C-alpha cells in the first residue's frame, strides 16, 4: 500500500521538514484574449481540478475549470465560462460526487457546486460560515473552512453548519486547505518562501513545511506520500503544478 503523507509527517515530527518540487503540469495565463490567474484547486484521487480566474474585479470575474489526469498529467476537459467571483478554493466532495468552490471575497458565504464529469454549474448556496477556503474528509463527514478575516479554521458538518472553531496560527498570505483523517493542511505564501502549516483535528500545530518560492502558492492536495501544489509563476507566464515530496530539512 502506498505511504500516505500524514505517515511521513509523523515520522519527521519534531524535525524541520522541507518539500522537494518537481514540475508536472502548466497552464497558460494568457489565453482566449484574457489574462488568467490560478486560484482554487483540488482532487478526487483520480483527477485534479484547477480554477483559472480572469484578472480584474471579482464582481465580474470569469472562471474556467481544468480537469487533469493524475496518472498521466494530461488535460482531460475544460469547462465553459463560469462566474464564481475569486474562486479561491475548490474541494471534491466525494460523498456527493460534486466539486465545491469557495467564492471568497465578494460573497464570502457563497459556494458553487460543479458536476465533476461535465464541469457544469449545478447550483449555488449561501452557507452560514463566511470563508475563503475549504477542505473535506469523507470519513469524518466534515468540511474544514478558513474563517474569513482570520487565521482560524472552522469545522462544518455535511450541511455546512459550523460545529467547532479551531484557533489558527498567524503566518503569511492565506491560500488553500486540504485535509485527511489525520491532519489539516493550510497553504500560505511568504515573502521568499511558501509554507504548509499542519494541524491535528483539535487545532494543535504539528509541523510547518518549508516550500521553495517558485511563485505565489494557491492550492494544494495530498497525493500519496506528498502533496501536489499549484502556483502562479513568478514571471507571470504560466500557472505551474508541482509534485511536492517531503524530506528532513534545515533549521530556519
Q: What is the CATH number of the domain that holds 123?
A: 2.115.10.20
Using CB atoms within 10 Å of the CB of residue 241, give its burial: 0 to 12 exposed, 13 to 18 middle, 19+ buried.
buried
SS3 for 6?
A: helix
Nearest to 43 by CA among 195, 233, 210, 224: 224
Residue range 135-164, pLDDT digits in tens? 999 999 999 999 999 999 999 999 999 999
Whole-Å CA distances, 211 to 106, 143, 158, 190, 229: 30, 25, 32, 10, 10
In this model, does residue 166 exceed pLDDT 90? yes
Here the cell at position 21 is 518540487
Q: Average pLDDT for residues 205-231, to the nearest whole number?
A: 96
In this model, does residue 3 exceed pLDDT 80? no
Residue range 176-195, pLDDT digits in tens? 999 999 999 999 999 999 99
Using CB atoms within 10 Å of the CB of residue 218, give its burial: 0 to 12 exposed, 13 to 18 middle, 19+ buried.
buried
Q: How far apart are alpha carbons 45 and 6 in whole angstroms?
A: 16
Residue range 96-121, pLDDT digits in tens? 999 999 999 999 999 999 999 999 99
Nearest to 42 by CA among 73, 13, 67, 17: 67
Q: What domain range includes position 91? A: 5-248
- The reported pLDDT for the residue numbered 1 is 41
SS3 for 139?
A: coil
Place of cell 484574457: 34
The total domain count for the chain is 1
**Sorting pLDDT into bands at 50, 70 and 90, what band is 250?**
confident
Amino acid at each position: 500500500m502506498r505511504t500516505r503523507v500524514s505517515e511521513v509527517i509523523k515520522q519527521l515530527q519534531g524535525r524541520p521538514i522541507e518539500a522537494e518540487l518537481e514540475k508536472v503540469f502548466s497552464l497558460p495565463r494568457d489565453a482566449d484574449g484574457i489574462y488568467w490567474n490560478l486560484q482554487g484547486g483540488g482532487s478526487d484521487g483520480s483527477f485534479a481540478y484547477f480554477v483559472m480566474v480572469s484578472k480584474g474585479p471579482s464582481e465580474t470575474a470569469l472562471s474556467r475549470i481544468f480537469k487533469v489526469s493524475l496518472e498521466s498529467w494530461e488535460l482531460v476537459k475544460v469547462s465553459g465560462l463560469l462566474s464564481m467571483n475569486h474562486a479561491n478554493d475548490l474541494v471534491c466532495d466525494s460523498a456527493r460526487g460534486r466539486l465545491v468552490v469557495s467564492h471568497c471575497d465578494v460573497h464570502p458565504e457563497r459556494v458553487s457546486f460543479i458536476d465533476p464529469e461535465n464541469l457544469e454549474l449545478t447550483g449555488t448556496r449561501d452557507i452560514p460560515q463566511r470563508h475563503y477556503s475549504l477542505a473535506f474528509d469523507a470519513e469524518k463527514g466534515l468540511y474544514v473552512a478558513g474563517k474569513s478575516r482570520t487565521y482560524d479554521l472552522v469545522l462544518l458538518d455535511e450541511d455546512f453548519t459550523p460545529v467547532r472553531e479551531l484557533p489558527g496560527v498567524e503566518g503569511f498570505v492565506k491560500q488553500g486547505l486540504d485535509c485527511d483523517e489525520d491532519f489539516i493542511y493550510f497553504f500560505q505564501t511568504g515573502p521568499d518562501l511558501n509554507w504548509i502549516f499542519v494541524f491535528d483535528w483539535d487545532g494543535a500545530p504539528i509541523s510547518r513545511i518549508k516550500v521553495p518560492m517558485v511563485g505565489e502558492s494557491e492550492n494544494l492536495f495530498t497525493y500519496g506520500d506528498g502533496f501536489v501544489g499549484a502556483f502562479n509563476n513568478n514571471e507571470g507566464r504560466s500557472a505551474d503544478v508541482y509534485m511536492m515530496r517531503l524530506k528532513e530539512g534545515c533549521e530556519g
